Amino acid sequence: MRHKNQTLGEFIIENQEEFKYSSGELSRLINSIRLAAKVVNHEVNKAGLVDILGAAGETNVQGESQQKLDVYANEAFIKTLTNREIVCGIASEEEDHFITIKGRNQNNDNKYVVLIDPLDGSSNIDVNVSVGTIFSIYRRVTPSGTPVTLEDFLQPGNKQVAAGYIIYGTSTMIVYTTGHGVNGFTLNPAIGTYYHSHPNMQFPEDGTIYSVNEGNYVHFPQGVKDYIKYCQREEGDRPYTSRYIGSLVSDFHRNMIKGGIYIYPNTAKNPDGKLRLLYECNPMAFIAEQAGGLASNGFTRILDIQPTELHQRVPFICGSRNMVLKAEEFMQNA
């Protein structure tokens, strides 16, 4: 139920019974993400004023140069999630290995694992363009009372109990799902409260925006090249409009509101694609499907892929239902 001026805090409490596991722990977990997001938001907002822009000087496990805000956001989320008796393990784009959290009594009896892309769109930080955070939540599969194992993190996306993103944009928003549709909340920075501004978000079934880094065009698989040509052809509602920010969160968010498709295919440089299955594609795929959209690697539903590695990459096609179906058709007929 939604009423006027409902806050995220009120929404979480009022919808608690909808959660599959209604112990209140998942609510508390989302609460702690909301808190960490405020801390990161504060730092992102003043990024030009303090010495937080630029490279941190380290290379992460992905082979990328870490930005200072990557490191800051990573620490902020890990700290906030560790301090509560809910999470038994965290895996992050910025960490080589997963982190085990034993809990206050060293009992290993917390139930949830969190996978996180602490700062998405790093390359946009220094130029004041929207960045984001992506999170994905599972119940552990190994027995409570033992330390988490890799198996707890390598679950297919269809086992997610919640997923969401924060967009640090012209306004800051949290958008998330617990498997009962997608809801968006906008932060009023003056009072530090998120309001339920976007109830029951839905991808339009059709769209006219395609988002892909066309600089890599010559290296794309034939099916993607054919689909892009299809988008550009003058026929019916085409040519479509090309929009690419370079922050998955922002490109996805715009496409969900306006109708569109996001594509990051495999290329010669990135033979498995660039985006990470566990930190980026699975959570976005869960949100997309909950909003009536689709997410695929061109051949298989993203959420049905059995992960084999923590930092696994996968080609990603995601967005309005009919657009993804059309792109898949081109992929499969190429």
Which residue's CB is nearer to ligand AHG, number 179 or number 246? 246
Rule CB under 6 A: say whether 172 interacts with ligand AHG: no
Residue 196 touching ligand AHG (CB under 6 A): no
Burial of 103 (0-12, 13-18, 19+ CB in 10 A): middle
Least Å distance, CB 117 to ligand AHG, is 5
Q: Is 112 annotated as a binding residue?
A: no
Alpha carbon separation from 328 to 117, 158, 276 (Å, rounded): 27, 20, 20
Q: Which of 110, 115, 120, 323 binds ligand AHG (CB under 6 A)?
A: 120
237 is in an annotated binding site: no
Is 249:131 a contact under the CB 8 Å cutoff?
yes
- Give yes or no for residue 152 binding Mn ion (CB under 5 A): no
List, as one string, the DSSP characters of 191-220.
Answer: TTEEEEEE-S----SS-SEEE--GGGGGGS
d(C-alpha 150, C-alpha 91), whole Å: 10
Is residue 230 marked as binding?
no
Running DSSP on this structure, what letter comes out for residue 64? P
- Near ligand AHG by CB under 6 A: residue from 122, 172, 290, 297: 122
Q: Which of 174, 228, 248, 303 binds ligand AHG (CB under 6 A)?
A: 248
Q: Are 302 and 316 in contact (CB under 8 A)?
A: yes
Q: Is 254 in the site for ligand AHG (CB under 6 A)?
A: no
- Whether 311 contacts 253, CB under 8 Å: no
Q: Please list every residue from 268 through 307 that binds ligand AHG, using CB under 6 A.
A: 274
Q: Which is nearer to ligand AHG, 12 or 134 (CB)?
A: 134
* Cα dihedral sign, 19-197-289-95: negative
Any binding-site annotation on 244? Answer: yes
Interacting stretch for ligand AHG, rule CB under 6 A, among 37-45, 121-129, 186-194, 326-334? 121-129
Q: Check binding of 64 to Mn ion (CB under 5 A).
A: yes
- Taking CB under 5 A as the criterion, the residue among 117, 152, 289, 328 binding Mn ion is 117
Residue 171, annotated ligand binder?
no
152, interface contact from ligand AHG, Mn ion, none, CB < 5-8 Å by kind: none
d(CA 330, CA 326): 7
Question: Which of 248, 232, 38 lies closest to 129 in space, CA to CA?
Answer: 248
Residue 182 binding ligand AHG, by CB under 6 A: no
Question: Do residues 36 and 81 lie in contact, with contact meaning Cβ atoms separated by under 8 Å?
Answer: yes
The DSSP secondary-structure symbol of 96 reads S
**Structure tokens belonging to residue 135:** 């999170």
Residues that bind ligand AHG (CB under 6 A): 64, 93, 117, 120-123, 213, 246-248, 274
User: What are the binding residues for substrate?
Assistant: 120-123, 213, 244, 274
Q: Please report, as ranges, the residues that interact with Mn ion according to CB under 5 A.
A: 64, 93, 117, 119-120
